Structure 1
Amino acid sequence: MVKNHCLAKSINDAGWYQFRRWLEHFGQKFSRATVAVNPAYTSQNCSQCGEIVKKSLSTRTHTCKCGCQLDRDHNAAINILERALGTVGFEVTVSRGSPLQGTGYEKKGQNLLTKAPLY
């Protein structure tokens, strides 16, 4: 990209900042909540039991003692979703069976997936 490492990092940071501003703008325009989540340790925390499972970046599968076995990115995505929903007041009760089973994200008795879809 750019030979100067510091300049390349600044350009990359500016790009993510602009992307986040666009998300927030369109979230407001279409009355959708946008939440920034710190992604730290989301791929190392088990999305089923919460235990920290250390792994190198080359390890692509998350395997926990509790029996949870997911792709590393899928595990991180579940953790990011739980953190985001927790910050906007949703009670997080994830169905821990098959990844294709329905989830139990609810707020004040409403099913999030049918009453208030997030984009």
Structure 2
Amino acid sequence: MFFKGLGKYPKFKKKGRSDSFPTECYANTIDNSGKPIELDGWCHKLPFIGVVKTYEPIEATTKRITISRQAGDWYLSCSYEFHPITTPQKTDAIGVDLGVKTLATLSDGKVFESVRSYQKFEAKLSREQYLNRHKEVGSANWKKAQLKIARLHRKVANIRKDALHKLTTYLAKNHGRVVVEDLNVSGMLRNHKLAKIS
């Protein structure tokens, strides 16, 4: 792409930062030349790689698979088509009041509490970072400590994602129209005191 004048100069990926699996087709994606890839069970035969084992059984047919690494663990993600299932709606429209102390308050009175995931692990994160302060950068002990810190950050992020998925799933299943107030929540969270609440 660069030599054809269609793209910028390529930036080489640094090991250990946003790791993904390089293939002949895409930087982090396996594309079997448009042919379907069958995933069935615990072990999967992937093009260009071979047999890969997963912690959970997967049954799907996809044309593209992305392999990435987060906090020392490898993840396999794929896209596939499915037929949507309609669910009976409780009310046609619902209003959502986003907050900082609470995740969201609905117009029907239902409240989704904030998970406060960062507060739960703040002391643990602080201690791990404190113990890591004098370790030699690049050493084996430094890498172990960095991995522990990365896993804690991933846990915090996953708790937040889980709460957001539960909220959005509830709204999508039970209501035909969702009205959200126009507040600059991201701007409010730039205040470090407010950000720690969420």
* TM-score normalised over the length of structure 1: 0.27
Select the structure of larger CA radius of gyration.
2
Comparing both structures, which one devotes a greater share of its residues to helix?
Answer: 1
Q: Which has the higher strand share?
A: 2
TM-score normalised over the length of structure 2: 0.19
